[in-house]
Structures are given as C-alpha cells and as structure tokens.
Amino acid sequence: MKNNIKNIVVTVSFIIIIWGFMVANILIQDNEFSYSERRRLILFPNYSLQMLLNGEFIDEFEKYSLDQFIFRDAFRGLKAIGKYYLFNQKDNNNIYIINGIIEKMEYMLDEKSVVNAAEKLNEIYEKYLTGKNVNYAIIPDKSYFIADENGYLTINYDRMLELMEQNTRNMKYIDLFSALSIEDYYKTDIHWRQEKIIKIADLLLNEIGNDSKLSGSYIEHKLYPFYGSYYGHAALKLQPDSMFYLTNKIIENAVVFDHQSNTFGKVYNLEMFDGMDPYDIFLSGAKPLITVYNEECKNNKELLLFRDSFGSSIAPLMLEEYSKITLIDLRYISTDLLGNYIDFSQDQDVLFLYNTRILNNSSMLK
C-alpha cells in the first residue's frame, strides 16, 4: 500500500513538473536578449508547410525552445557547476577559468584567414595610403599568457605573426606581445584595462614616430561592478571586475563625431555602463566611423586608426599627440566607402590595431 502511494506521488509530481514547465514556457513572454550572454535570443520561427515538410521548422523550433526555456540561466549554472566541480572537466563549452580569469579557447589557427587579413591591409594601403606612415600592431588574447602553462589549447601565435610579416607590404610592425601581461586585461572580459595601457599608448606613439612622451597625468574614475562579456558565458557566480576610465583636460574637452548618425558626443558615454555591454562607455561602443577632435592640439596632424573594440579605450590616451583621431571599424563599413568620408590627402599617420581573434576570423573585415 505504501509503495503504491509512493508511486502515485512520484508520478503525479513528475506530471505536475512536466506540465508546469510546459505551461510556464507557453505563458511567459519570450526574451529578445540574453543579458548574461550578451546576445540576441532566437524568437519563434516563421511557419510554412514547406518548412514543416523539409524539417527546417522543427530544427528552428528546437533552437528556439533551448533559447527561451524557463530558468535557462539557472540550468546553465547547474551545468557549469557539474562540469567544473563534479566531473572536473577543464572547460565548459570552451570557456575555462584560471584564478578567476575567464577565457575562451580558440585553438585552430586559420592561416587562410590571417593571410586574408594581411591582404586586406595591403588593399587599403594601395587604395588610400600610398606614401603614408603606416604601421600595424596585434593585440594578443588572454590565452597567450595563461593557456599553455595550464594545459589548454591555443593558436600558434608565432605562426600568425610570421604570416602577417610575410604577407603585409609597405608597413611597419609594432610588437605588443612583449609589452603586455595578463594583469593588463579584465578577468571577466576579453578586453584590456584602460588604466593599464598608458605604456602601450606610449609605445605605439613612439614607434609611429612621435618623440614626446605622454604626460601620464590622468584622473582615475571607478565603475563597479563590471561583468564582462565572458562572465555570462561562464555561468558561475564569480568576482566581477572594477572598471576604471581615465580623464584629463584633453579628454574632457574632446568632441566625438559619429559619421553614421551625424551627431556629436563625448569620449565617455557613462550611460552605456548599465546597458548590454558596459565596455561601450568607451567612445559609445562599436561604430563604423568616428572622429575624435582635440582642439588643445595645434599640429593639425591626424591618426587614422583601423581598429576593433580594443581601439575604443586606447584612442583617448593617444589623443594628446593629434588634433584628431579617426577610428575606422571595417567590421561595419566597407573599404570601398572610406573615400566618401575621409580626406586621405591630409597629413596622417596610420595604425592598424587588431586583436588576434579578428585576424583569425578576418572574413568579418569588409
């Protein structure tokens, strides 16, 4: 009798849980974004008889169900705890953690992609930059500093640098690998810390040909907590970072022009700290083309900075030596359109500044 009651209770509980989850998933409104993962979630797929018959609708519905499942973040956390602590696996979906530092494994060097990146730089040089002072620098990801010694796979950085050197023409390479360390990066994010890269700004300016040294006179401002882009991917309760941004008279008085929206703004957009990606406080995040004007500088010299998101935090530190810095993000604007916005006949230094992951996935450069 007791066994029968126990079986009935288990069966009824199971049915309630299954039906409860099903009803909850139906009733609760779908989320458009995952703020923890910093990405758009898949919404309910369009339906057609053809999609149903060829299986496409079922595939899309499965992806939708996984993205919109109730308590999804909680289940992601349980999975991460199980992998890291119960089964002692070294990573969870290629995310690994070393002393609170979160990193994502990328361990296949795509040589064709690196060569393609080099050819893109050559294309821009031949189209717009002939005769100019052109330089390129590569920013290592965090794996360069922590992967090998902790038994994780990573790309062949030496081969990447070799391929870039062999395939770029008419431009100087500036080494950043030996000047950076793991302490220069956020623990929960892919990016470097602005307060740590004054030395990098100095190095770049010196190698480009500017003799003077940065004043180094900045006021540090702290923002906390900063949950970087990798924090949500780790799906664990870890210590957040503190974010510091640097100001001085030049940075505070600088004006930023967005060529896409034809609007003016400031170097730091602090409202972005509470948005999808807090790192977007630096120059308002990803923009195809912006120009930062420094009216304190009277040399009428311009820096053309071809960059990814890392460039947003270092450009303000380099502003001291230029009357304006134009930042170009080729992920969002085609090379062929640059001549419509930039006067390449002016006195300009040029720096291509990309992190290793962009070079290894260079098809995104237009």
Angle, helix 311-318 to helix 198-208, in steps of 10 degrees? 70
Other CB atoms within a 10 A radius of the CB of residue 281 amount to 25
> How high does pLDDT run on average in the chain?
84
State yes or no: pLDDT of 314 exceeds 60.
yes
Ramachandran assignment for 141, one of left (phi > 0), alpha (psi -120 to 50 degrees), beta (any other)? beta
Q: What is the pLDDT of residue 22?
A: 47
User: Are residues 112 and 158 in contact, defined by beta-carbon separation less than 8 angstroms?
Assistant: no
Q: What is the pLDDT of residue 64?
A: 53
pTM over 0.85: no
State yes or no: pLDDT of 200 exceeds 70.
yes
Report the range of poorest mean pLDDT among 10-14, 293-297, 357-361. 10-14
Q: What is the mean pLDDT of residues 180-193?
A: 97
Confidence class of residue 251 from pLDDT cuts 50, 70 and 90? Answer: very high
State yes or no: pLDDT of 3 exceeds 60.
no
Q: What is the pLDDT of residue 11?
A: 62
State yes or no: pLDDT of 299 exceeds 60.
yes
Instruction: Return the beta strands (E) in 45-116 as ranges.
Output: 95-98, 101-104
Q: What is the pLDDT of residue 221?
A: 97
**91-107: b or e for each residue (b if 16 or more CB lie within 10 Å)?**
ebeebbbbeebbbbbbe
Span 316-337, pLDDT tens digits: 999 999 999 999 999 999 999 9
Confidence class of residue 25 from pLDDT cuts 50, 70 and 90? Answer: very low
State yes or no: pLDDT of 30 exceeds 60.
no
Confidence class of residue 21 from pLDDT cuts 50, 70 and 90? Answer: very low
State yes or no: pLDDT of 168 exceeds 80.
yes
Q: What is the mean pLDDT of residues 229-239?
A: 78
Q: What is the pLDDT of residue 55?
A: 62
Report the range of poorest mean pLDDT among 49-58, 92-101, 231-240. 49-58
- Where along the chain do its domains lie? 2-102, 110-364
- Helices (H), ranges, 88-228: 111-124, 143-146, 157-167, 198-208
The rounded radius of gyration (Å) of the Cα atoms in the chain is 24
Confidence class of residue 32 from pLDDT cuts 50, 70 and 90? Answer: low
Q: What is the mean pLDDT of residues 76-80?
A: 54
Q: What is the pLDDT of residue 85?
A: 61
The distance between the two most distant Cα atoms of the chain, rounded to a whole number of Å, is: 93
Higher-confidence residue of 66 and 133: namely: 133
Confidence class of residue 20 from pLDDT cuts 50, 70 and 90? Answer: very low
Higher-confidence residue of 94 and 293: namely: 293
